[in-house]
Amino acid sequence: MGAVRNVLRRPLGHFTERTLAGLALVLGTGVGFGLVLVLVRVRWSPLYDVDHGVARWLNDQVAPIGPLVTVLNAITDLGGRPVIVWLVTVAVLGLLIRRQGRLAVFLIVTGAGALILDPTLKTLVDRLRPEVAVPIGTYAGQSFPSGHALGSMVAYGAILLVFLPALAPRWRRPAMVLVGTVVFLIGFTRVALGVHFLSDVLGAWLLGAAWLGVTAYAFRLWRLERGRPATPLAQGLEPEAAHEVAPAPDEKKLLPHARAGVAEIAVGWVLVFGLLYAFGMFVSYHAEGTFLATLDEAVPNWFAERGTPALDELSWWWSKVGDTHAILLVSMIFCPLVLAIWRRWRPVLFVALVMFGELTLFLTTAAAVDRPRPPVENLDGPMPTSSFPSGHIAASLCLWIAIAVIVLPRTDRWWRWLFVVAAVVMPVGVAVSRMYRGMHHPTDFMGALILTAAWIGLLYWVVRPNEDVDEGNQPAIESEDVDTLDDELAEAGRPG
């Protein structure tokens, strides 16, 4: 009996020793935030002077330098709600696929808390944003605390704690430094861009650290209740889940012959560009009197004669399926899911190379051919690129065909054919919309088809994205288990 008591006391003693300092730190950050909140609320003169002085000085330094403003805006977007929601959502889905429901709950609760705290405190404090001599950007809402600073502190910190066990010990400290640097830079940009006071950012950091500490502390209590040892946070929340939270722990080598593959891709890119350039120059300047020229004249005019306000609206929305934001969003959701389910980087590399090659081939060919838009009303107005080939159509073709190529051989479920349907319907819809809006000729569509077929064919031959399937790789969720997969979120909420 005495041995049993010692076994029970040992985890409790370790837990107390290791969390006392952390608990003090959590309380300290909470008290610090409360102090800043009170000083802001009562408009303490020294803090008021520092806030406005720093805002004015940074505005004088930053506003005249256009490239610096562009860089600051790019960094500040890393703390914006779209990026934060995407990061947390993808991480939660990946954890659920890997059957790490309690870690998923930790991310959901931590992220939801930040989403609730930010607007609530903004409304209660009701502080106006800074007024600077040269406004760089306009942002709605109140100023205290900074939502970007709070969201980045909580989201990046929580994701770091969850996935830290997947890193080798020598990389954990650099990862912490990197996340801390990103959070600091996001907070700095909010002040430098003149949309927040210094105390807004400091208060957000303190609040974010306190909230993150509370949820991490609660998670460690859960570990103690289940008889697991209390480990330092430097090892992550769940060290035992290192294999499951690693993006692709089962992959030893990305490509068997990397140098040869790079050379083949580079040579292939040049050949594809040459093919596109030759076809583009022919249909743009040397196809007069041919069927292609007749088609390029007849189709835009046919669409222009049948335009209606309803079709204008529908075509605008469908065109958005092929714009940069939609393509990037789908790619950034699909690729992490591939990692979570099949634990392989090669399919992700395939998609990344497909989209990078599509973009570079499109931009280079469009600049070289420099084809005018169809001689009808261009509903989207002047565009920064020329007509051949269609970037919207090429991007839609490359993305959805690449997705179908990866998914089709990896599952025997009926829904795999939905990706094949999407690979046809999505690009055709974009193509019809772009031609209806007077932005492209039919041969621009043909150019996009040539680009897609040649580039995806080359990459499929070089990268071999589905080779792991031939080697017997099984997904994290077996096809026969899909219908009976337990609800991890419900399981995580059950006591005991």
339-381 confidence digits (pLDDT tens): 888 888 889 999 999 999 999 999 999 999 999 999 888 888 8
Cα–Cα nearest to 116, from 207, 1, 23, 241: 207
Mean pLDDT of 247-251: 70
Mean pLDDT of 312-331: 88
Structure tokens at 115: 């989403």
pLDDT at 7 over 50: no
Amino acid 454: pLDDT: 95
* Banded pLDDT at 476 (limits 50, 70, 90): low
On whether the CB atoms of residues 155 and 179 are closer than 8 A, the answer is no
- In the block, residue with structure tokens 């288990």: 481
* Banded pLDDT at 67 (limits 50, 70, 90): confident
pLDDT at 412 over 90: no
On whether the CB atoms of residues 432 and 253 are closer than 8 A, the answer is no
Beta-carbon contacts of 177 under 8 Å, excluding residues fewer than 6 positions away, are none
- Angle CA 258–259–260, to nearest 5: 95
**For residue 34, how far is the Cα from the chain centroid?**
33
Instruction: Report the alpha-carbon distance of residue 439 to residue 418 in Å, rounded.
Output: 29
On whether the CB atoms of residues 253 and 38 are closer than 8 A, the answer is no
Mean pLDDT of 139-168: 87
pLDDT at 44 over 90: no
Own/partner long-range contacts of 138-145 (Cβ < 8 Å, ≥24 apart)? 139/195, 143/195, 143/196, 143/197, 143/200, 144/37, 144/40, 144/197, 144/199, 144/200, 144/203, 145/118, 145/121, 145/200, 145/201, 145/203, 145/204, 145/207
On whether the CB atoms of residues 347 and 338 are closer than 8 A, the answer is yes
Report the percentage of the chain scoring pLDDT > 90. Answer: 29
- In the block, residue with structure tokens 């803090």: 47
Which span out of 4-18, 117-131, 238-252 was modeled with the highest average pLDDT? 117-131
- Residue ranges in 282-411 assigned as alpha helix (H): 291-305, 309-319, 324-342, 346-369, 391-407
Amino acid 341: pLDDT: 86
On whether the CB atoms of residues 349 and 417 are closer than 8 A, the answer is no
Amino acid letter, 246:
A
Amino acid 474: pLDDT: 64
Q: Indicate the DSSP class of residue 284.
A: I
pLDDT at 472 over 70: no
Average pLDDT taken over every residue of the chain: 83
* Banded pLDDT at 72 (limits 50, 70, 90): confident
382: number of CA atoms within 13 Å, CB side?
A: 1
Q: Kindly report whether the peptide bond that precedes residue 347 is cis, defined as omega within 30 degrees of 0.
A: no
pLDDT at 285 over 80: yes
pLDDT at 58 over 70: yes
Mean pLDDT of 187-195: 87
Burial of 472 (0-12, 13-18, 19+ CB in 10 A): exposed
Out of 29-38, 65-74, 83-92, least confident range? 29-38
Amino acid letter, 346:
R
Q: Where are the domains of the chain?
A: 10-245, 258-482
On whether the CB atoms of residues 132 and 56 are closer than 8 A, the answer is yes
Amino acid letter, 228:
R
* Banded pLDDT at 418 (limits 50, 70, 90): very high
* Banded pLDDT at 141 (limits 50, 70, 90): confident
Which pTM was predicted? 0.78
Amino acid 138: pLDDT: 66
Q: How distant, in Å, are the alpha carbons of 108, 142, 182, 191, 482 from that of 147?
A: 17, 10, 15, 12, 38
Beta-carbon contacts of 272 under 8 Å, excluding residues fewer than 6 positions away, are 357, 361, 451, 454, 455, 458
